[in-house]
């Protein structure tokens, strides 16, 4: 009997040390939760970079990691339930996209590590103690859109010098939207611009918002980035194009649906860094000790195709400053 037990133990040790069919040593597959306020199609290009970086770090979905996705599809009230689903699946770490996602994940768990791939001011929101020492279960990348507001408005005015009235469309969320609006209004005074603020929190409000924009005779539109506006950006931009209004947005995802100008952090880099954060956490690092990062790469993008479509002329000096031009 003792001999049989010894043989069994030796066999177990041997099997644990034998590489699997794909050449990797057998080990527990890490489970990653991915929570986004928008849809899979909205994240397609960024997810490609996310997967690629994970592969470079030695992680392959279906082999040594498993990713569980939950998409809010622009319905922010769904986020708490989706976050709870991921926690109940016993994920090792949750990646969040958008402020509603990280807030929901934090409320769902104070212990499961959370990596933000794209979020507003985490310090201002009280989600981390500081950028250098987050102090809880959240780390990742954060941005402060109010910091970019001055540049966006200045670029808009430089591109279209005759502008006098600019409508700002936002979800009106507490925190980032208010900060950004205050910054825009402060800069507008120095540029001789009138800012017309409009909030929209449900698609049913779009017709009324559009009517108000035309009633106020806005000459250009700025869309504040949020989970809601980003998800509905195609509808918002279609209205602007139909009415031949110049638009200023936050990034390439807006440019792809027809926004004329965009300035902001390179969001794709956030997804690349998210994979790096995951690697650190799976190797034993604690989110509380991993500094939160701020964007270092920024893009000024011009959609010359849309500009020509609605009869706008982009000055040569502005074109020369663009990081990318869509023709």
User: Are 275 and 135 in a shared domain?
Assistant: yes
**What pLDDT, on a 0 to 100 scale, did the predictor assign at position 224?**
92
User: Are 306 and 191 in a shared domain?
Assistant: yes
Residue 261 located in a structural domain: yes
User: Are 87 and 137 in a shared domain?
Assistant: yes
Tens digit of each residue's pLDDT (9 = 90 or more) over 74-107: 888 999 999 999 999 999 999 999 899 999 999 9
Secondary structure in 3-state letters for 259-320: CCEEEEECHHHHHHHHHHHHHHHHCCCCHHHCCCECCCCEEEEEEHHHHHHCCCCCCHHHHH
Residue 19 scores a pLDDT above 90: no
Q: Is the dihedral of CA 72, 76, 78, 84 positive or negative?
A: positive
By C-alpha distance, which of 189, 215, 217, 213 is closest to 199? 213
**What pLDDT, on a 0 to 100 scale, did the predictor assign at position 120?**
86
Calpha distance 150→320 (Å, rounded):
20
User: Are 203 and 321 in a shared domain?
Assistant: yes
User: Are 172 and 78 in a shared domain?
Assistant: no
Q: How does residue 175 score in pLDDT terms, banded at 50, 70 and 90?
A: low
Calpha distance 86→76 (Å, rounded):
16
The rounded mean pLDDT for the chain is: 89
**What pLDDT, on a 0 to 100 scale, did the predictor assign at position 3?**
43
Domain that holds residue 216: 145-265+299-326
Q: How does residue 6 score in pLDDT terms, banded at 50, 70 and 90?
A: very low
User: What CATH number corresponds to the domain at position 249?
Assistant: 3.40.50.2300
User: Are 193 and 311 in a shared domain?
Assistant: yes
Contacts of 255 (CB under 8 A, 6+ apart): 249, 262, 301, 303, 326
Q: Is 92 strand, coil or helix?
A: coil
User: Are 66 and 103 in a shared domain?
Assistant: yes
């Amino acid at each position: 009997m003792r001999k049989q037990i010894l043989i069994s133990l030796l066999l177990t040790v041997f099997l644990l040390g034998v590489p699997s069919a794909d050449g990797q040593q057998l080990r527990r597959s890490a489970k990653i939760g991915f929570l986004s306020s928008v849809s899979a199609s909205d994240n397609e290009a960024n997810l490609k970079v996310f997967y690629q970086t994970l592969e470079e770090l030695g992680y392959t979905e279906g082999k040594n990691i498993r990713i569980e996705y939950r998409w809010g599809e622009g319905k922010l009230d769904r986020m708490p339930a989706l976050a709870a689903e991921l926690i109940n699946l016993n994920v090792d770490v949750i990646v969040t996209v958008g402020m509603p996602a990280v807030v929901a994940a934090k409320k769902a768990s104070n212990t499961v590590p959370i990596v933000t791939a794209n979020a507003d001011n985490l310090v201002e929101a009280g989600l981390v103690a500081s950028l250098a020492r987050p102090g809880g279960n959240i780390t990742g990348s954060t941005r402060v859109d109010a910091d970019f507001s001055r540049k966006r408005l200045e670029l808009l005015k430089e591109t279209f010098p005759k502008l006098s009235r600019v409508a700002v469309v936002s979800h009106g969320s507490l925190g980032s939207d208010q900060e950004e609006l205050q910054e825009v209004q402060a800069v507008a005074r120095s540029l001789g611009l009138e800012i017309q603020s409009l909030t929209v929190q449900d698609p049913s409000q779009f017709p009324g918002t559009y009517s108000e924009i035309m009633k106020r005779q806005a000459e250009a539109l700025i869309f504040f980035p949020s989970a809601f506006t980003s998800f509905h950006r195609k509808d918002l931009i279609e209205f602007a194009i139909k009415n031949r209004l110049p638009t200023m947005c936050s990034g390439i995802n807006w440019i792809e649906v027809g926004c004329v100008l965009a300035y902001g952090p390179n969001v794709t880099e956030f997804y690349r860094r998210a994979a790096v954060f995951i690697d650190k956490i799976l190797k034993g690092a604690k989110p509380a000790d991993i500094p939160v990062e701020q964007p270092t790469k920024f893009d000024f993008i011009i959609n010359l195709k849309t500009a020509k479509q609605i009869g706008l002329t982009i000055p040569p000096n502005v074109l020369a400053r663009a990081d990318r031009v869509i023709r």
